[in-house]
Amino acid sequence: MSSPVLIEVHEGVMTVTLNRPEAKNAVNLEIAKGVAEAMRRLDESDELRVAIITGAGGTFCSGMDLKGFLDGEIPVIEGRGFAGLTQGPPEKPLIAAVDGFALAGGMEIALACDMIVAQRDARFGIPEAKLGLVAGAGGLVRLPRQIPIRLAMEYALTGDLIDAKRAYEIGLINRITDGPALIAAKDLAATICANGPLAVRATKKVMTEQAGWPAETMWQRQDELIGPIFDSNDAREGAAAFAEKRKAKWTGT
């Protein structure tokens, strides 16, 4: 029996594939456990810089496994949330590569990522209200922070789907691709991997936390996070590489 979560690592990029194509990659407890473990590995490994999460069989994820839900299975991991991700994203960059559908919990997985790359025919949506449910794994709190509130309200209350073109127009996704989303996501990941790993990690932390910072402490909090970067070996290496017109050799120190 194949694993419900497949892991591939290549040149600093971890690709995490939800692997239940027969169920449109619906999230059960085994998927949640596998994703949570992958996110732990991502943050703890010095060799890994960026991760991509995608789905097998031409679709991203149809949401929570409702058959499992009816049997009492809740695919939530303590400290990580639904699908082992939505309440505890990794400290390093995470890209969603979306083909087919990202619905309900599937869209909430994508919303928990830092960037989204989608195939042109992809569709997004949080249709939980149509089923008498609520998008409680991030749909109702992340969506209005990522697109205009009135649009988020409409999509949440109607449950209507959003095509990739519209998702790009309203700033929900980063890139649209005619080919498989994973190929474009790997190109984006490679660009990030070429940058200083300490700088990338600190940059993500500032950008994800700054919204909650009071104005009077904003600069102090930023300085606390980025100050060590300027004193790092990588900062000196980056400056030297630029001056010498060569590729930097990052050590993560």
The answer to whether 49 touches 200, Cβ cutoff 8 Å, is yes
Give the three-class secondary structure for 190. helix
Strands 115-119 and 13-18: unpaired
Residue 139 has a CB neighbour count (10 Å cut-off) of 23
Which residue among 73, 78, 128, 224 is the active-site one? 128
**Cα three-residue angle 204-205-211, rounded to 5 degrees:** 100
Is 128 a catalytic site residue? yes
Is 47 a catalytic site residue? no
CA end-to-end distance (rounded Å), the chain: 41
The H helix count followed by the E strand count for the chain is 10, 11
Token pair 């930097």 is at which residue? 248
Report DSSP state, residue 19. -
The answer to whether 135 touches 103, Cβ cutoff 8 Å, is no
Which residue among 30, 73, 78, 108 is the active-site one? 108
Report DSSP state, residue 213. S
The answer to whether 115 touches 184, Cβ cutoff 8 Å, is no
Give the active site residues: 108, 128
